Amino acid sequence: MHDINVDFFETAEDCPCDILIEGLPGVGLVGKLATEHMIEELGAEKIAEITSIYFPPQVILEDCGVARLPNNELYRYEDKKKKLRVMFLIGDFQSATPEGHYFLTETYLDIAKKFGVKRVYTLGGYGVGHLTDKARVIAAVNDEKLKPEVEKAGAEFTESEPGGGIIGAAGLLLGIGKRMDMEGICIMGETSGYLVDPRSATCVLSVLSKLTGIKVDTTKLQERAVEMEAFVNRVKGAEKTGSEEELNYIG
């Protein structure tokens, strides 16, 4: 076992890709929900599994008691009409150490480069610390020239958001990507930061769809959003005597 193991499946053979879409776990699981939804709706095919000493030292249980190492996974989908070939990156965890983020991100970009990827989309949530009615979508790019098309697709660029930069893979894929001559666009859905947020994921997908031309049916995501909102409203009702602020600590 190396520090980072990439196990390619047979499905990975001879399959160039044009873009990479990343949705690893982060604020409100917005990027993860959005990317997993696309993979499922489009029927993308798994092409690789990545395990690493940089992930937490544990196993994940699935299928009622079957253990596997935590991993990150690559999927692939070819939109024949649009002639667009997409690589997806999802997973259980991001790196457990600061340096690991750098090493893993580089590995992902090395693979992407080898498959021909020219542009990277990273999807995530932008935590604002309070419940919001309508999720704005904000963006960052690794090249000024990418801004017009992103704004046209409905995302905002603001001077001060997110204030602390973009942490983890969603940020580093843009930063290290630039060094490797890949365009990078990060699309962040506004979210409370306290709850898993399928509504915000839907908004992110809407912007991504305009940028890539790939349409996915978001009915299931919207249903999950409705369920989540019903849950929040029940809690709000139950907590009528408390202030609205308290609600922020749910999740």
Residues that bind its own copies (CB under 8 A): 1, 51, 53-54, 56-61, 63-70, 95-103, 105-106, 138-144, 147, 157-159, 162, 164-168, 171-172, 174-176, 178-179, 184, 186
User: Least distance in Å: CB of 138 to its own copies?
Assistant: 8
- Cα dihedral 13, 16, 19, 24 in deg (nearest 10): 10
- CB 51 → its own copies: shortest distance, Å? 8
Taking the complex as a whole, how short is the minimal distance between the CB of residue 164 and its own copies, in angstroms?
8
d(CA 50, CA 198): 26
Task: Please state, in angstroms and rounded to a whole number, the distance separating the CA atoms of residues 95 and 232.
Answer: 31
Question: Would you say 56 or 129 has its CB closer to its own copies?
Answer: 56
Residue 124 near residue 207, CB atoms below 8 Å: no
- Determine the residue type at 144: E
Nearer to its own copies, 7 or 239 (CB): 7
Taking the least distance from each CB to its own copies, the nearer of 152 and 215 is 152
- Give least dist CB 177 to its own copies, A: 9
Task: Tell me the closest approach of the beta carbon of residue 79 to its own copies, in angstroms.
Answer: 27
Residue 162 preceded by cis peptide, ω within 30 = yes
Strands 119-127, 19-22: pairing is: parallel
Cβ at position 115, least distance to its own copies in Å: 19
How many residues are recorded in the chain?
A: 251
- Whether omega for the bond prior to residue 25 falls within 30 degrees of 0, making it cis, is no
Measured CA to CA, the distance from residue 102 to residue 56 in angstroms comes to 16
Distance separating alpha carbons of residues 224 and 240, to the nearest angstrom: 24
